[in-house]
Each structure stands twice: as C-alpha cells, then as structure tokens.
Structure 1
C-alpha cells in the first residue's frame, strides 16, 4: 500500500511538494491564511489536480488547529457563536460540492482553480474594499458562505472570500485572525469528511497528505516567528502577486492545455 503511495509521482515531485508546502506553511503562520491557495496553486503546476487536492487536506486541518490554539478557548467559542451561520453554510457546501470533484474534466478543474485565485487575489491586491451594513449582515452570511463553501469543496480553499467578508465587516485584525482560524478549522474538518466520502482521500493518498504535515508544521513555526518581525502589508502584497501569477498559469492550462 505504501508502495502505491510512492508511485503517485516521481521523487523530484515529492521534493518539490515539500518545498511548496514549506512556503505555504510560512505564509499561513505569517498572515493567517492563504495556505490552501499557495499549496493548490503550486502543487497543481506539476501534479494531477486530484492528487494536489488530496495532499492539502491534512496540512489544512493541522494548520488551522494550530492557529486557533494561539487564542484563549473563550474567545474561540465567542467567535463561533457570532459567526455560526456563516460557518454552517460553508461546512455544508464543502461536503456537498466535494462529491462532484471526481467528475469534473481536468481543464475545467484548472479553470475552477485558477479563476478564483486570480480574481480574488487581484481584488485584494488593488486594495478594493467593501462594506457590509448591519442590515445586510445576515443575508451576506448565507450568500458569501455559499460561494466560499462551493469554492472550498472543489479547490480546497475558501480563504479569500472569508477574508474579504471579514474586511467588509470592519473586523479588527486580532479578531480577524481568530475568526479565520475557527472558520478554516471547522471547514477543514468538513473538507476531510467530504473527500473521504468522494474517494479523493483513500489508502494511497492519505499517507501522501500526512507526509506534507512535516513541512507544513515547520513552515508555520517560522511564519509565527516572523509575523512580529516583518511588514505584514508588504509581505501580503508579495504573496498576492505570486498567487496571481500561479493562478494565471492555471487559467492558461485550463484554456489551452
């Protein structure tokens, strides 16, 4: 069975995947999100999309547990109570949409991966800000949650819509980091359950995903250390530029193969 896992890809691809995951862990630790985006954008450049999605699942679960554990339990519970509607619809949509991942044509899958990466990264990069008035908060929870969960079920990443949503609510930075951890943490459990059901995670791909826990953990520790020693605005902009380039390449592959 382990032999089958080793046959998923050549040795150089395993090494490259470790490097991509190390960078993704660093980004996650430094700015609190974008780990799935970095991983899926990077891994999909040289791996089958379904193998890439399988690889990101366990690192996503672990990284979000680590992020939430940096805050007191009472604050995490308060965030869960405040955002329970958004979290609920995200989790439900992830489980439902994940079941369709194995029937999507490869080129369509690349477009589904690439277009949200490019659009959402560009929106943040150019500094577009949205504001959600209090009377529109409940409808926006369901609407944005629906979109985030659908994207998450297909691509393994629902961070950018969540970040934009929290920014539109004028959420303070510290609280935003906490809410992201809670949303991503519970969503990642749904992603795990969804892909166990879809078959993307199986006896062959689970060891592959588990192997990526090591570089993800190491990258996060460095990211946590660096987060207080660097300009987060400039680093976030550089990260978004990389995501735009990677996402554009995915779109290219989806359009012309």
Structure 2
C-alpha cells in the first residue's frame, strides 16, 4: 500500500465508510470524556481489519488530538519533570514490544486487543479510586510505563496501566487531562516508530490516517457539545460497558 488511492482501492467503499464512522464516533467519545479515541478506533476497526492496519490509521488523529490536549493548561513543564521516568519507559517498552511481539496479524493479536479492552473497561467500571504515595512513584512509574509500552506494541491500546496509574497520582483535573495527553502522545509516537520499523506505516497509511483527522475533529466538536447536555458520568459508564462487550467479542472470536 504505497499510495492513499491504492489503500482505499484495497479497502473498498464499505470498509472506508466504516473507518470514517469509527473515527467520528471515537472523536465524539474523546470530546465527551477526554479520552478513548485510540481505544474505540482499535476496538471497532479490529473487527474488520488487521490490528496493525487499524493502528496505522489512528496515528495522525491520535497525535494531533493528544498534542492539542497536552498543550492546554499550564502544567506541562512540571508534569514532564514528574513523569519523565514513566514516559521514557513507555517508549522503551513499546520498542521492546515491537521487536519481541509486534502486530503480526496472528489471531492472538485480536484476542490480545480484546483482552486489553476488557481489562480497561473493568478498571473503568469497578476499580476504586487508588492513591500512589510519592515515595513509590520512582519505581512504579517506570514499571507501569514498560507494561503500557508492551501492551501498546501488541494491541495499539495504550491506556493500561497508564490511565489508572495517572489517576492515582492525585493530580488536579487540569493536570490529569494534560498528563493523559502527554502519555498518549508518547505512546502514539512510539507506536508509529514500531509500525514504521515493521513496514506497516508507509506513505499510503499516513495519507489515509491524515484523512481520518477530519472526522475525528468533527466528532470531538460534537462530543464537546454533548458534554454540556448529558451526564458525563452516565456516558462514561455506557462507554465502558460497550467497550467490555466489544472486547469480549474480540477475545472470544479473535
């Protein structure tokens, strides 16, 4: 797949429309709750295509929206100083995972993706609010980073265990939003490097990913509009239940 045109000729109109709808929905979810674009994209696209192809499509939308998220607020420098061991570990873990595992298109990849989605959904639904003492951050951050990186390389999902860890640091709402954007940006760039290494991210894939930026941004605007009119807590619960069902389907059927 060397060109954008050849990519869409291979996908066909039906799959192309599914991809557009997926990024519109994923952007809407991110607009409402501040995360979920890569998770929703990987989960839904994993039903119709190889996870490596799905991961390649999310690179540009994920990078752009996460950079936008991390640049808002005034805590970036402090967060980098505090979180750099975890961020470095995410990059290293993704590199190790890309060399060791990679998304080779085997059935185990789809099942691993399903397992990651189920685990994330269960954390969102049932995990109580945790607190990490400052004295444990020095070793726990890198451990979570390595684990997140390996899971990212294998499934394209980079929320486990990074999101529960960041939520346990006692950050303010603005700091947490910015910290999530920072973590997701590093994960996306590391994933892109891994896909490039395996030859899964060429000019055609990048061109198609760039096209997916538009529906993702439209979805984010819709989500921000919805956030003012619906209960974010209820929406998040419905999101996690749906994610658990989607992950279970992938886990069982591969």
TM-score by length of 1: 0.90
> Unaligned stretches of 5+ in structure 1?
none
2: CA distance between counterparts of 1:235 and 1:93? 32
Give the alignment's Cα RMSD to 1 decimal: 1.9
Identify the residue that residue 161 of structure 1 maps to in structure 2. Answer: 161
1: CA distance between counterparts of 2:229 and 2:83? 31
- 5 Å-filtered alignment, 1:105-144, equals 106-144=106-144
Shift in alpha-carbon separation, 1:102–1:140, aligned structure 2, 3 A: closer
Tell me how far 1:67 sits from its aligned partner: 1.2
Indicate if the aligned counterparts of 2:156 and 2:191 stay in contact, CA closer than 8 A. Answer: yes
CA deviations 1:130-166 (Å, max 9, x no partner) are 3322322211101111111111122222124222002
Tell me how far 1:44 sits from its aligned partner: 0.9
Identify the residue that residue 226 of structure 2 maps to in structure 1. Answer: 226
CA deviations 1:156-215 (Å, max 9, x no partner) are 221242220022222222211111011112222222222222211113322221221111
2: CA distance between counterparts of 1:182 and 1:252? 33
Identify the residue that residue 42 of structure 2 maps to in structure 1. Answer: 40
Is 2:148 aligned against 1:148?
A: yes
Shift in alpha-carbon separation, 1:225–1:202, aligned structure 2, 3 A: same
Identify the residue that residue 5 of structure 2 maps to in structure 1. Answer: 3
Identify the residue that residue 66 of structure 2 maps to in structure 1. Answer: 64
Tell me how far 1:102 sits from its aligned partner: 5.1
Identify the residue that residue 179 of structure 2 maps to in structure 1. Answer: 179
**Greater shift in the superposed pair: 238-247 or 6-15:** 6-15
1: CA distance between counterparts of 2:189 and 2:251? 28
2: CA distance between counterparts of 1:138 and 1:23? 37
2: CA distance between counterparts of 1:100 and 1:220? 35
Indicate if the aligned counterparts of 1:107 and 1:253 stay in contact, CA closer than 8 A. Answer: no
Tell me how far 1:14 sits from its aligned partner: 0.5
1: CA distance between counterparts of 2:104 and 2:12? 25
CA deviations 1:90-129 (Å, max 9, x no partner) are 1222233234555645211011101111022112212433
1: CA distance between counterparts of 2:156 and 2:132? 26
> Unaligned stretches of 5+ in structure 2?
none
Shift in alpha-carbon separation, 1:45–1:103, aligned structure 2, 3 A: closer
Indicate if the aligned counterparts of 2:60 and 2:210 stay in contact, CA closer than 8 A. Answer: yes
- 5 Å-filtered alignment, 1:95-110, equals 95-100=95-100, 104=104, 106-110=106-110
Is 2:31 aligned against 1:12?
A: no
Indicate if the aligned counterparts of 2:4 and 2:208 stay in contact, CA closer than 8 A. Answer: no
2: CA distance between counterparts of 1:120 and 1:154? 15
2: CA distance between counterparts of 1:103 and 1:47? 12
